[in-house]
Amino acid sequence: MSTRRKRSSSRRWLDEHFQDEYVKRAQREGFRSRAVYKLDEINRKYGLIKPGSIVVDLGAAPGSWSQYCVSRVRPDGQVVALDRLAMQPLSGVTWLQGDFREQAMLDELLAVLAGHPVDLVLSDMAPNTSGIKAVDQPQAMDLAELAVDFAQRCLRPGGDVLVKVFQGEGFDKLLKTLRADFGKVCVCKPSASRARSPELYLLARNYAHR
């Protein structure tokens, strides 16, 4: 893409961003990202986040989902957040920085959990998209599959996972995996998720260990 075209598309993105109702609302309500309203819509409908829950938030930066969760799991719950980017600390959130695809990061997360079964795994992880579907789709599905593997390993029986996926290759296979191990699986497209984005969220509830 030429520099001039790149500049005009980033200007368009900025204009759209500052006009966006969810961006304005997040600023008003003190959330770090408009993404919080995706989780809020799903949580209002399904009642996922409860006082006392242990929640793992994968792909957590800048931190709006963790902000949302920490106030709902208090006083006895725990939120463990992970991202490869740095995140400003949040009171009540245990924060880990690193690439979730790396074994060392998984080991660190497991060490923090210290064998406590997890009630809810959230994954809003998304690759830096190139706009080339053949590149973006496998990367997005890889992250979603890793989040589901982690959920299968750490959830308590009856626990839930909410994972961002891109529609396309690999989606049906992941849906099938979730349907085999969970009592109920729903496909969610919250209103705050832009219509042009291929993202969807899979919510799998009531984990049954095989």
Ligand X SMILES: C[S@@+](CC[C@H](N)C(=O)[O-])C[C@H]1O[C@@H](n2cnc3c(N)ncnc32)[C@H](O)[C@@H]1O
Check residue 100 for interaction with ligand X (CB under 6 A): yes
Residue 142's SS3 state is: helix
Given the complex with ligand X, which of 147 and 178 has the nearer CB atom? Answer: 147
Choose which of 43, 53, 64, 137 interacts with ligand X (CB under 6 A): 64
Contacts of 201 (CB under 8 A, 6+ apart): 38, 42, 162, 163, 164, 165, 187, 188, 189, 190, 193
- Tell me which of 48, 61, 109, 162 binds ligand X, using CB under 6 A: 61
Q: Is position 65 an interface residue for ligand X (rule: CB under 6 A)?
A: yes
164 catalytically annotated: yes
Residue 125 lies near ligand X (rule: CB under 6 A) = yes
Q: Side chain identity at 160, as an amino acid letter?
A: D
> Active-site residue among 24, 164, 173, 176?
164
Q: Report if residue 16 touches ligand X, rule: CB under 6 A.
A: no
Scanning 47-132, the segments in alpha helix (DSSP H) are 64-73, 103-113
DSSP state of 54: E
Candidates 14-22, 56-64, 130-138, 174-182; binding stretch for ligand X (CB under 6 A):
56-64
Locate 22 and state its tokens: 């969810």
207 binds ligand X (CB under 6 A): no
Rule CB under 6 A: say whether 106 interacts with ligand X.
no
Element (H, E) at 100: none
CB of 65 to ligand X, least distance (A): 4
Whether the Cβ atoms of residue 163 and residue 143 lie closer than 8 Å to each other: no
Q: Determine if 84 is a binding residue for ligand X (CB under 6 A).
A: yes
Where in 159-198 is the site for ligand X (CB under 6 A)? Answer: none
Closest contact distance (angstroms) between CB of 84 and ligand X is: 4
Backbone angles phi, psi at 160, to 5 degrees: -130, 155
Instruction: Quote the CA–CA distance of 79 and 53 in Å, as a whole number.
Output: 8
Catalytic residues: 164
Query: Which chain residues interact with ligand X by CB under 6 A?
Result: 32-33, 35-36, 59-65, 83-85, 99-101, 124-127, 143
